[in-house]
Structure 1
């Protein structure tokens, strides 16, 4: 091979790499990506929510979920309960989701640490989400899938205190206001007694 042939081969490799990178960037900019994860509820201390979220840039259509074992439902109990929580038999994980916009999420009240720990044990549950993107951008038959893992042990030893400060402040102000009105009433009544 001559030097010109090597240069031509090198240019073909560069063009192929450039096309691949462009395609990956294009797909990242338009594809949906569905994740399923557990997170603590910031407004309700000790509650763990199950969240389905589209973190991609495009809408997800006809989302279906497949788990390697059944998910628990309403698994409540801060301490590990004696009875086993029941399996999930309804909701979006079971029936699927027809459409999820970019950034949109569905939040399911899943349970509390003790109840979820009783059901899950130490083994995570794998959730495979299968979906498609807009039919304008991809043939209807093509599907995308993503894998999520749900593991309750990640919350062991974490802070589950109440961060819901807005209602706490309102309640404190209402209590203070009642106390001030009571003091004002007492002062007014004692002024009447002295005047008579």
Structure 2
């Protein structure tokens, strides 16, 4: 009787608990979340945008069109919707057994159980978080009017534009990841089909 209880306790303790806190998931895979090339391209575009803005102030060759942060509310909601559509399409691409395999898989790049699974879903969480920040900023700018110095206002606009740029690039990165997943899954199905046909022969 006591042995059965101890066995049940051991089984209970060995149960897998998958992390569902989005911020903890991002923290777990923070080192591999954004590639170096992604960060370099984003920083280069931010520097270019800042440089063009400074040039526009001191010369008439470049004119920066005025915009309000609240203008990004609709694009931000669209970005959130597109991210949701992509993650739904990705989860439908893989079966439950494959998702379990992702969780249990380990190698040199995925040192612990669950790391590959979190790496797979973290980009979607990250992109959603970026567009959430953009949405909140646009909503606040639409509701409230802040009386701040012009210089600080321009700095806020540049910072906000950099976040929007990050969101756009993250969406494009997600699309590329999804296309790669579709290609790999199609390749796997074709190869499995050929192997089964060759065994039959």
TM-score range, shorter chain: under 0.3
The normalised TM-score by structure 2 is 0.25
Higher helix share: 2
Higher strand share: 1
The normalised TM-score by structure 1 is 0.26
The structure, 1 or 2, with the larger RCO (C-alpha pairs under 8 Å, 6+ apart) is 2
